[in-house]
Chains A and B, each alone.
Chain A
Amino acid sequence: MTKKIDAIFALNCSVNGAKIEREIHSSRSLLEFIREDLGLKGTKEGCGEGECGACMVLLDGKAVNSCLMMAVQIHGRQLVTIEGIKGKDGGLHPLQKTFMAEGAVQCGFCTPGLIIASEALLRRRPGATLEEIKLELTGNLCRCTGYEKVLSAVEKAAAKRK
């Protein structure tokens, strides 16, 4: 009986605005799918247990940790990775600009996840307060720059987006 079940899954989803169809092994993790199959290396693996947020992506507009999802779970849904975060003119996104202006990036490993988490918040709450920003970023760890510059970068982006 078992042999009849196909381990290959025909995955349909949207990635950074483009529809894609891929045959994948059903037990492919979402993070592997993004990094290895799609070659989108902006999404990082940090802890592999949902603590650090380096692997965050937007799924149907909401932040999720791709290290704890399986690729089959995005079937029929819209995925946006850091590569899909852009400004209206196709250049840098306002959050990317304020991160640069505030010096909120050092080694950069946590930055894609922080931008994704911040963007998820600003879509919901365009003029988010500092307190809201702090709460939203509880799932993102940065081990070099620290948090003050990150918080002020998101605060500045929020003030512009109001």
Chain B
Amino acid sequence: MPDIIVKPPNLKELWKLLPGLPSARRYLAGGTDIVTADNAGAEHSECWIDISGIPELLGIKETAGSVFIGSGVKIAEIAASKAARRWCPALTAAIPHFASPSLRNMATLGGNAANASPCADGVCALISEGAYVLLATKGGRRRLPLKDIFLGPKRTTLKKDELITGFEVPKRPHAGAYLKLGPRSYFGISKAAVAVAAELSGGAVKKARVALGSVAPVPLYAAKTSAWLAGRKLSAPVIEEACELVKTEVSPITDTRSEAAYRREMCGVLLGRALNSLR
């Protein structure tokens, strides 16, 4: 465990607190990743900053053009939100596949992104929704496409002390699906996962975004497959070809959870099922 945990009540106090803290420090949100890492001996920060009480990071709000989901929002809260259900169908579909009911009461969407695991269910789903991530440092704010902040397992482009404040999903009427293959039906880390968000018009795809989990060093935005689907009717041959294409975009590895060849094959199978569910 760290030597100390501090608990700033708001963002202003957080920025004031930072210069006086030990430099080996990390943010603590739900704790489901960082405390697990600490219990396993893989986390050695001197200081954790508990951001779970910071009001600026909470809540799901609708504006004229987008849905804002605070980084401190618990995964279980998303499932209960009308705005999220309406405008984030792939994210909503991912919720039952996200860990277990109790972990969903603890884990936050911001933590899911900051932890930067290639298997992060919430992140894959959000990438398919075309989400932006909102970042803050003392005196500075950035807004980036979420798909662009991941460098590799556990690595992001975030600067020191930079905080994920929330996510913005543009309001676009679309259909979504999330399918995951794990060691059991629920509560397992995925061997492969596919998120699809598609704006449809009369059986044809206007725009599609496909994201995949556990089959690349980062939560993967399948740019080629997404672009190829645009303008095409969701017929059986089109779906079949999309499934072949997506297999060329992924770079799975063999590890304790699964084998590379199986994972690659399953990307096609899952994408096929997901697209068929939107027809």
Contact = CB atoms under 8 A, between A and B. Distances in A.
A122 interface: no
A135 interface: yes
B63 interface: no
Interface string A31-74: 00000000000000000111001001001001111011110110
Given A1-B20, A62-B105, A65-B102, A70 B4 contact: no
Given A27-B48, A53-B102, A7 B35 contact: no
Interface in B91-150: 96, 99-103, 105-106
B2 interface: yes
Contact of B106 (A1, A29, A68, A136): A68
A138 interface: yes
B1 A27 contact: yes
A7 to B, nearest CB: 5
B133 to A, nearest CB: 24
B28 A49 contact: no
Contact of B52 (A2, A7, A62, A73): A73
Contacts of B32: 50, 65, 68
Contacts of B187: 138-139
Contacts of B103: 50, 65, 68, 139
Contacts of A64: 102, 105-106
B94 to A, nearest CB: 15
A26 B186 contact: no
B100 A26 contact: no
Contacts of A1: 19-20
B100 A53 contact: yes
A65 B30 CA distance: 11
B21 interface: yes
Q: Would you call the interface of chain A mostly helix, strand, loop, or mixed?
A: mixed
A73 B48 CA distance: 12
A25 to B, nearest CB: 8
B52 A5 contact: no
A71 to B, nearest CB: 9
Nearest to A73: B52
Nearest to A32: B1
Contact of B35 (A29, A53, A121): A29
B4 A7 contact: yes
Nearest to B5: A26
Nearest to A65: B102
A28 B52 CA distance: 16
A72 B50 contact: yes
Interface string B18-30: 0111100000101
A64 B103 CA distance: 6
Given A4-B20, A50-B103, A63-B102, 4 more contacts: A62-B102, A73-B52, A75-B53, A139-B99
14 contacts: A26-B7, A27-B48, A29-B35, A48-B40, A49-B36, A49-B39, A49-B40, A62-B105, A64-B102, A65-B103, A68-B30, A73-B28, A135-B101, A139-B99
Interface of A: 1-2, 4-5, 7, 9, 26-29, 48-50, 53, 56, 59, 62-65, 67-70, 72-73, 75, 117, 120-121, 135-136, 138-139
